[in-house]
Amino acid sequence: MISFGKRLKELRTEKNISQKDLAEIIGTNNSSVCDWEGGRAEPNFDTLVRLCAFFGVSADYLLGISDY
């Protein structure tokens, strides 16, 4: 199972945006995005929903539960 951090970084780099840009889009700071991608923290539920909406993926996909 792929980790949340790896999946997030993969989606972010596919869109060619920086951690700072993603943080601004979803209303957080770039250190949070860095911590998520590094596996040191996880977003809260509301932020997870915003990430899924921005990337157009399901929570299961972003969390590494499914590949769809």
The pLDDT tens digits of the residues spanning 28-55 come to 999 999 999 999 999 999 999 999 999 9
The pLDDT tens digits of the residues spanning 7-28 come to 999 999 999 999 999 999 999 9
More reliable by pLDDT, 47 or 2: 47
pTM over 0.95: no
* Rounded Cα–Cα distance for residues 36 and 12 (Å): 12
Q: What is the pLDDT of residue 68?
A: 79
| Helix segments in 1-68, DSSP class H | 4-14, 19-26, 30-37, 45-55, 59-62
> Cα 47–13–60 angle (5° rounding)?
45
